């Protein structure tokens, strides 16, 4: 299939010349525009004299005039300021930033613009925006990408490095050298070495035993991305045959790969300065010396298992690979070293995961020794230095190169590193070091050279594309014949020349572009008939191109409007979940589990270089924006900060909402419409509350979740508790008082979900979370609880035998199923249960009501709270704790509260006939949203107030609007 294999040794004759001889380029091929030297063209300074502000404009105007087109009018300061903030920071301007700019612009447009651009370029937000473009190009992600998709903790260091590089305005040649050859130019500088993480961005499969094929895939991918990212050539086409459309030979492909093919993916290179490393090693030596004996004994204990594991693991690889593995290191060729590196990584993965404790189960002596040695080792932990961060970086496998080979007509030709044959350039000067082939540096130097016609134009074009959405070459990764020819070839060369001569500084190029009249054109101009006929795609720029916001911009803009956005306080931050308020570039990027919102709006997955993003429009996006809780929660925070009140100044509030979300004043009509909308919704919600006929939100029919329940009398409805609504909790005044030191709670309930964190799900409570007041609550634990998830707990806060305040968690260890109807019973005695005793007790009962075969589980546990448990000034709360959250998510179909500790035969499940004094017995048959139960009232923080809900809806719609999603 693949027409080559790797040869471990160099053959004596050079294949490059043999293969190259076969190809004679035609004149047409030699005339390929992208390989011609960059010239410094004359500026058509007469073109558009009146309109032009700098040279860019002359080039643009000339093309427009040639096509009988005219530049659009100038954008207003409002349009400009929004464009510039999104362009340089990926964030909308705050209302005060808009005001500052428009005021300054009225005084002096040129100074205002120049100062704003300088100010934004100097902000750390700039690197967070422009770094993203590069991360897309290098297919950055933070996971392995295959089935296991393991997280790569070191990947974020590369992201931070990219952001810093942009913020520091690092000259491009340095940027290139660091990424392709940081290990050669400054192996001791972690801030340079991390650049080589570029070579690690490919995907990796932790258990692929076909290491030869796996490495081939890795190398192919590395070669393709290097060609596309730095040279703008779709060299991948030439892997199997000479490029069909471009003058690129198959040999050129492998000659490019030959620069990279010696690369190694080490797992043990620390990301540290020599000083940090020395300090670490010194400390570690002390620890090693102190623990020498213990570690030797441990190693001896582990040896048999590890050896066995290693042997089984090695046998899984093809035979020839096993042979390589068993060779002495010195006998291996560099290619064999690469294979062994991959094998070793898999073996390490397996041996690191041996469960020694388990394997010693049948050898109590060994187990004892194992435990004791580990204990002893732990005693020296204070001497052990904190491990240095592991670098997600690349090096070379050896100074001797790995040479790719092309197979042609049964013969094998090794390929030496070389540049495109078409360019007729001398062979690269390669200087190996002691441990490095030096080949990647030769490639980096060539790419970073001022004379390189491809790399210089490619990066200039990427910067132009960042500002205008489309590059002067519309196919930024392909300057070949399958790509598009430049729309303004002279302008591309003129800009390239300026960029290179100016020291390859991106910030200068940004400013040059942004100060032009071209950049200042409005996007808000409809095409005339001649424009839509001549240039419907706006390639000649008769107006500024409208665009949709990128996924990161959409997410970040919501966070800015809601006032919640956070920025890291260091330039080396970690990664965060998508639910966090940090801006999107810091959201953890898992290839197989992308963030829903970012993925939905076209963020790339990180498998291939993504030089441009599609701007799709899908119903999935609409559903997410209008129904998902994340945008709605942002709208809620937005609405809250607007501080609407019934008697307040709505006009002012609406203006503020428009300014924060859309960066402009609303019109009078818009203000009226917004007012009407909020009023309509508020009264609609009020009607809902008042109308008994309307769909009940606080209750659901029992046929939904309690259909399977048998043996307990239920009413027709269940209380429906929904987090984030006004039906979060039901508060009930009862006669349960301080005289009741024993009582029984029983419920038939359904838990829809538990929290992803440690927050508990409260079924019933009577407490305000204040340790100084009496109270209790019955709850189920969540995912990250220290008591394990779904554990039924009763928490008591009263006094102990000595009358001292006592807080105690009574743990049942009964697990409440999620998504099923259950019976939960708890009988509490807050008095000594035996004569002269000091302890009370709680008995828990649990039964899965979805399964007729299920048995009732019960457990009795002692505790030391024996008094002051009920404070009659608090209501009993179903579904949460007195206004402090920890909410139940689901339904309660029946709830009773009885005096005394009921014996089991008197529980609801056994359908007791009579003689019981119930303090409370609710089956919700006659309940409505307005009158849920006698002496009861709703509490919901989320949306207790219909005005607030309706303002939230209004803010939510601003986020959903086209004006928010598009810069247009």
Partner 1 sequence: MSPQNSNFKPTRRNFLSSAGAGFGSVALSALTGQNLIAGSVSQKIPHHFGKAKSVIFLFMEGGPSHLDLFDPKPLLRKLAGQKLPDSFETPVTAAGEVYSPLLPDKRKWAQHGESGLWISDWLPKHSAIADDLCVIRSCVTDGINHAGGMCQMNTGAVFGGRPSLGSWVSYGLGSESRNLPDFVVLKDSNAMVVNGVRSWGSGFIPSTHQGVLLESNDPPIANLNNPASVSAEVQKQKLAFLADMNRDHLKTRSSHSDLEARIKSYELAFRMQATAPEAIDLASEPESIKSLYGLDQAETKTYGRQCLLARRLVERGVRFIQLYHGAGSKWDSHSNIEGNHSKLCHQVDQPIVGLLTDLKQRGLLDETLVIWGGEFGRTPMSEKGNGRDHNSTGFTMWMAGGGVKGGQTIGATDELGLYATEDKLHVHDIHATVMALMGMDHTKVIYTHKGRPERVDMNEGHVHEGLVNGATS
Which residues 444-503 are close enough to bind partner 1 by CB under 8 A?
475, 477-478, 480, 482-484
Whether the Cβ atoms of residue 635 and residue 627 lie closer than 8 Å to each other: no
Cα 947 to Cα 680: distance, rounded to the nearest angstrom: 10
Near partner 1 by CB under 8 A: residue from 685, 740, 847, 868: 685
- Residues 6 or more apart whose CB falls under 8 angstroms from that of 242 comprise 23, 248, 249, 250
CA dist 699 → 5, 695, 717, 926, 940 (Å): 69, 9, 6, 10, 15
Tell me the β-bridge partners of 405. Answer: 414
Under rule CB under 8 A, how many of the chain's residues touch partner 1?
99
Q: How far is the CB of 622 from partner 1 (least distance, A)?
A: 4
Which residues 1-40 are close enough to bind partner 1 by CB under 8 A?
1
Q: Is residue 622 at the binding interface for partner 1, with CB under 8 A as the rule?
A: yes
Q: Is residue 596 at the binding interface for partner 1, with CB under 8 A as the rule?
A: yes
Q: What is the CA radius of gyration of the chain?
A: 35
Near partner 1 by CB under 8 A: residue from 375, 628, 713, 926: 628
Whichever of 767 and 954 has its CB closer to partner 1, that residue is 954
- Residues 6 or more apart whose CB falls under 8 angstroms from that of 650 comprise 644, 675, 678
Which of 76-84, 740-748, 853-861, 941-949 is the region at the interface with partner 1 (rule: CB under 8 A)? 941-949
Whichever of 1 and 24 has its CB closer to partner 1, that residue is 1
- Residues 6 or more apart whose CB falls under 8 angstroms from that of 482 comprise 234, 245, 246, 475
Which residues 131-160 are close enough to bind partner 1 by CB under 8 A?
145-149
Tell me the β-bridge partners of 826. Answer: 745, 844
Residue ranges of alpha helices (H) inside 355-452 are 356-359, 364-378, 439-447
Whichever of 503 and 756 has its CB closer to partner 1, that residue is 756
Q: Is residue 526 at the binding interface for partner 1, with CB under 8 A as the rule?
A: yes
Q: Is residue 581 at the binding interface for partner 1, with CB under 8 A as the rule?
A: no
DSSP code, position 585: G
Which of 359-367, 526-534, 890-898, 911-919 is the region at the interface with partner 1 (rule: CB under 8 A)? 526-534
Q: Is residue 396 at the binding interface for partner 1, with CB under 8 A as the rule?
A: no
Whichever of 178 and 336 has its CB closer to partner 1, that residue is 336
Tokens, residue 358: 């388990």
Q: Is residue 629 at the binding interface for partner 1, with CB under 8 A as the rule?
A: yes
Q: Which of 96, 84, 88, 107 is nearest to 523 (CA)?
A: 84
Cα 320 to Cα 323: distance, rounded to the nearest angstrom: 5
Q: How far is the CB of 302 from partner 1 (least distance, A)?
A: 24
Near partner 1 by CB under 8 A: residue from 527, 789, 832, 912: 527
For the residues of 474-526, what is the DSSP string, one character each?
Answer: S-TT--STTSPPPSSHHHHHHHHHHHHHTTS-HHHHHHHHHTSTTTTB-S---
Which sign, positive or negative, has the C-alpha torsion 448, 449, 450, 454? negative
Q: How far is the CB of 83 from partner 1 (least distance, A)?
A: 16
Q: Which of 849, 853, 779, 836 is nearest to 812 (CA)?
A: 779
Tokens, residue 253: 């492909």
Cα 483 to Cα 477: distance, rounded to the nearest angstrom: 8
Cα 262 to Cα 439: distance, rounded to the nearest angstrom: 8
Tell me, rounded to whole angstroms, the distance of Cα 339 from its chain centroid. Answer: 33
Which residues 91-110 are close enough to bind partner 1 by CB under 8 A?
none
Whether the Cβ atoms of residue 801 and residue 831 lie closer than 8 Å to each other: no
Tell me the β-bridge partners of 52. Answer: none
Which residues 726-785 are close enough to bind partner 1 by CB under 8 A?
726
Orientation of helix 211-226 relative to helix 334-351, angle to 10°: 110
Q: Is residue 684 at the binding interface for partner 1, with CB under 8 A as the rule?
A: yes
Q: Is residue 623 at the binding interface for partner 1, with CB under 8 A as the rule?
A: yes
Q: How far is the CB of 189 from partner 1 (least distance, A)?
A: 33
Whichever of 58 and 726 has its CB closer to partner 1, that residue is 726
Q: How far is the CB of 138 from partner 1 (least distance, A)?
A: 14
Q: How far is the CB of 142 from partner 1 (least distance, A)?
A: 14
Q: How far is the CB of 741 from partner 1 (least distance, A)?
A: 38
Near partner 1 by CB under 8 A: residue from 79, 142, 183, 228: 228
Tokens, residue 654: 């609406």
Which of 66-74, 280-288, 438-446, 948-956 is the region at the interface with partner 1 (rule: CB under 8 A)? 948-956
Whichever of 173 and 480 has its CB closer to partner 1, that residue is 480
Which of 398-406, 442-450, 821-829, 947-955 is the region at the interface with partner 1 (rule: CB under 8 A)? 947-955
Whichever of 198 and 954 has its CB closer to partner 1, that residue is 954
Whether the Cβ atoms of residue 74 and residue 57 lie closer than 8 Å to each other: no
Q: How far is the CB of 368 from partner 1 (least distance, A)?
A: 32
Residue corresponding to tokens 């500088």: 189
Q: How far is the CB of 437 from partner 1 (least distance, A)?
A: 26
Which of 56-64, 336-344, 401-409, 957-965 is the region at the interface with partner 1 (rule: CB under 8 A)? 957-965
Which residues 537-556 are close enough to bind partner 1 by CB under 8 A?
537, 546, 548
Q: How far is the CB of 494 from partner 1 (least distance, A)?
A: 24
Q: How far is the CB of 244 from partner 1 (least distance, A)?
A: 10
Residue ranges of alpha helices (H) inside 536-628 are 551-562, 596-600, 619-627
Tokens, residue 660: 């924060």
Residues in the chain: 968
Q: How far is the CB of 620 from partner 1 (least distance, A)?
A: 7
CA dist 126 → 85, 168, 563, 586, 669 (Å): 9, 10, 20, 14, 37
Q: Is residue 401 at the binding interface for partner 1, with CB under 8 A as the rule?
A: no
Near partner 1 by CB under 8 A: residue from 387, 426, 614, 836: 614
Which residues 296-325 are close enough to bind partner 1 by CB under 8 A?
315-319
Whether the Cβ atoms of residue 136 and residue 227 lie closer than 8 Å to each other: no
Q: Is residue 661 at the binding interface for partner 1, with CB under 8 A as the rule?
A: no
Tokens, residue 788: 């394990």
Which of 122-130, 445-453, 720-728, 738-746 is the region at the interface with partner 1 (rule: CB under 8 A)? 720-728
Near partner 1 by CB under 8 A: residue from 344, 376, 716, 725: 725
Q: How far is the CB of 520 from partner 1 (least distance, A)?
A: 19
885 phi/psi in degrees, rounded to 5:
85, -145
Q: How far is the CB of 496 from partner 1 (least distance, A)?
A: 20
Q: Is residue 932 at the binding interface for partner 1, with CB under 8 A as the rule?
A: no
By rule CB under 8 A, what string of x and - marks binding of each residue 817-836 to partner 1? --------------------
Q: How far is the CB of 480 from partner 1 (least distance, A)?
A: 6
Whichever of 878 and 887 has its CB closer to partner 1, that residue is 887
- Helix or strand holding residue 61 (H, E): helix 55-66
Cα 612 to Cα 604: distance, rounded to the nearest angstrom: 9
For the residues of 647-668, what is the DSSP string, one character each?
Answer: TS-HHHHHHHHHHHHHSSPPPH
Q: Is residue 624 at the binding interface for partner 1, with CB under 8 A as the rule?
A: yes
Q: How far is the CB of 905 from partner 1 (least distance, A)?
A: 34
Q: How far is the CB of 809 from partner 1 (least distance, A)?
A: 30
Whether the Cβ atoms of residue 637 and residue 563 lie closer than 8 Å to each other: yes
Near partner 1 by CB under 8 A: residue from 14, 376, 608, 783: 608
């Amino acid at each position: 299939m693949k027409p080559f294999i790797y040869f471990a040794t160099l053959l004596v004759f050079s294949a490059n010349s043999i293969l190259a001889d076969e190809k004679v380029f035609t004149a047409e091929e030699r005339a390929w525009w992208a390989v011609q030297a960059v010239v410094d063209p004359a500026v058509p300074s007469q073109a558009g004299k009146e309109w032009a502000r700098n040279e860019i404009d002359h080039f643009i105007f000339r093309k427009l005039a040639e096509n009988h087109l005219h530049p659009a009018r100038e954008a207003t300061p409002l349009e400009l300021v929004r464009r510039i903030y999104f362009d340089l920071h990926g964030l909308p301007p705050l209302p005060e930033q808009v005001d500052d700019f428009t005021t300054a612009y009225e005084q002096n447009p040129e100074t205002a613009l120049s100062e704003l651009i300088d100010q934004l370029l100097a902000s750390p937000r700039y690197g967070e925006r422009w770094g993203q473009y590069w991360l897309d190009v290098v297919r950055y992600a933070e996971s392995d990408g295959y089935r296991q998709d393991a997280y790569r903790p070191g990947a974020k260091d590369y992201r931070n490095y990219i952001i810093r590089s942009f913020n520091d305005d690092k000259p491009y040649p340095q940027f290139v050298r660091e990424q392709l050859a940081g290990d050669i130019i400054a192996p001791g500088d972690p801030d340079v070495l991390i650049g080589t993480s570029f070579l690690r961005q490919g995907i990796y499969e932790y258990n692929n035993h076909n290491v030869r094929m796996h490495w081939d895939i890795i190398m192919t991918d590395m070669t393709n991305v290097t060609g596309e990212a730095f040279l703008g050539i779709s060299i991948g086409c030439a892997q199997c045959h000479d490029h069909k459309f471009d003058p690129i030979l198959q040999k050129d492909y492998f000659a490019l790969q030959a620069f990279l093919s010696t690369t190694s993916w080490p797992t043990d290179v620390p990301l540290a300065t020599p000083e940090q490393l020395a300090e670490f090693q010194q400390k570690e030596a002390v620890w090693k010396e102190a623990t020498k004996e213990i570690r030797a004994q441990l190693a001896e204990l582990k040896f048999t298992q590890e050896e066995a594991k290693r042997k089984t693991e090695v046998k899984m690889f093809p035979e020839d690979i096993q042979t390589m593995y068993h060779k002495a290191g010195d006998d291996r060729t560099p290619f064999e070293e690469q294979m062994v590196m991959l094998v070793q990584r898999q073996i390490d993965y397996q041996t690191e995961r041996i469960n020694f404790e388990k394997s010693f189960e049948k050898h109590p002596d060994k187990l004892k020794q194992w435990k004791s040695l580990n204990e002893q080792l732990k005693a020296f932990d204070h001497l052990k230095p904190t491990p240095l961060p592991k670098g997600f970086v690349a090096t070379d496998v050896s100074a001797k190169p790995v040479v790719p080979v092309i197979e042609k007509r049964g013969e094998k030709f090794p390929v030496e590193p070389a540049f495109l044959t078409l360019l007729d350039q001398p062979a690269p000067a390669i200087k190996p070091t002691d441990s490095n082939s030096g080949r990647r540096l030769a490639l980096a130097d060539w790419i970073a050279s001022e004379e390189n016609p491809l790399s210089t134009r490619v990066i200039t074009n990427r910067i132009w594309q960042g500002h205008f959405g489309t590059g002067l070459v519309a196919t930024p990764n392909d300057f070949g014949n399958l790509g598009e020819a430049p729309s303004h070839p002279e302008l591309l060369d003129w800009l390239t020349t300026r960029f290179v001569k100016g020291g390859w500084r991106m910030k200068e190029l940004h400013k040059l572009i942004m100060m032009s009249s071209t950049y200042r054109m409005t996007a808000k101009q409809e095409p005339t008939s001649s424009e839509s006929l001549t240039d419907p795609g706006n390639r000649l720029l008769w107006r500024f191109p409208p665009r949709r916001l990128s996924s990161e911009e959409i997410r970040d803009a919501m966070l800015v409007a809601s006032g919640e956005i956070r920025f890291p306080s260091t330039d080396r931050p970690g990664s965060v979940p998508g639910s966090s308020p940090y801006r999107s570039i810091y959201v953890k990027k898992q290839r197989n589990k992308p963030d829903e919102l970012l993925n939905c709006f076209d963020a790339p997955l990180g498998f291939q270089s993504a030089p441009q993003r599609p701007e799709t429009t899908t119903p999935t996006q609409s559903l997410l924006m209008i129904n998902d809780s994340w945008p709605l929660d942002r709208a809620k925070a937005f609405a809250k900060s607007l501080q609407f009140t019934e008697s307040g100044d709505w006009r002012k509030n609406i203006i503020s909402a428009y300014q924060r979300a859309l960066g402009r004043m609303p019109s009078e009509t818009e203000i009226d419409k917004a007012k009407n909308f909020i009023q309509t919704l508020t009264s609609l919600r009020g009607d809902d509350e008042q109308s008994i006929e309307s769909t009940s939100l606080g209750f659901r029919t029992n046929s939904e979740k309690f259909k399977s329940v048998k043996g307990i009398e239920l009413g027709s409805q269940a209380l429906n508790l929904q987090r984030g609504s006004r039906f979060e909790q039901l508060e009930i005044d009862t006669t349960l008082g301080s005289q009741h030191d024993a009582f029984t709670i029983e419920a038939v309930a359904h838990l829809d979900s538990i929290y992803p964190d440690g927050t508990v799900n409260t079924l019933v409570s009577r407490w305000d979370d204040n340790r100084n007041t009496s109270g209790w609550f019955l709850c189920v634990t969540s995912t990250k609880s220290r008591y394990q998830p779904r554990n039924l707990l009763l928490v008591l806060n009263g006094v102990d035998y000595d009358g001292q305040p006592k807080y105690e968690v009574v743990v049942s260890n009964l697990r409440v199923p999620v998504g099923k109807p259950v019976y939960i019973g708890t009988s509490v005695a807050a008095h000594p249960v035996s004569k002269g005793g000091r302890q009370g007790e709680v008995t828990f009962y649990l039964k899965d009501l979805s399964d007729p075969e299920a048995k009732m589980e019960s457990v009795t546990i002692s505790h030391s709270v024996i008094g002051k448990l009920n404070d009659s000034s608090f209501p009993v709360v179903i579904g949460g704790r007195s206004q402090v959250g920890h909410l139940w998510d689901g339904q309660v179909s029946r709830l009773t509260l009885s005096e005394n500790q009921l014996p089991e035969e008197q529980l609801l499940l056994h359908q007791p006939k009579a003689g019981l004094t119930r303090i409370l017995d609710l089956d919700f048959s006659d309940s409505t949203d307005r009158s849920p139960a006698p002496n009861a009232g709703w509490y919901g923080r989320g949306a207790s107030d219909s005005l607030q809900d309706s303002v939230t809806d209004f803010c939510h719609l601003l986020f959903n609007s086209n004006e928010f999603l598009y810069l247009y």
